[in-house]
Amino acid sequence: MIIEYTGEVVRPCLTDKRERENEGKGFGCYMFTVDSMNVIDATHRGNKARFINHNCQVKYTNKY
């Protein structure tokens, strides 16, 4: 399946502020960094693609 990640394109300097505001309102954070100048904020204007895990850093806690 191919799906386009849609949302509002914002500057990286706004992402921390938006993340704090969204957490305060009980929303999740759905932002995708495109490059050093563009971040797509799909929190309010995104589509189903925002629910796909797009974390670039693997955070496994395998305790076996």
CA angle 10, 14, 20 (to 5 degrees): 125
Note the pTM of the prediction, 2 decimals. Answer: 0.73
Cβ proximity of 49 and 6 under 8 Å: yes
The pLDDT-based confidence of 61 (bands split at 50, 70, 90) is low
**Domains, the chain, ordered by start:** 1-64 (2.170.270.10)
Residue 14 confidence (pLDDT): 93
Residue 64 has pLDDT above 80, yes or no: no
Most distant CA pair in the chain: distance in Å? 41
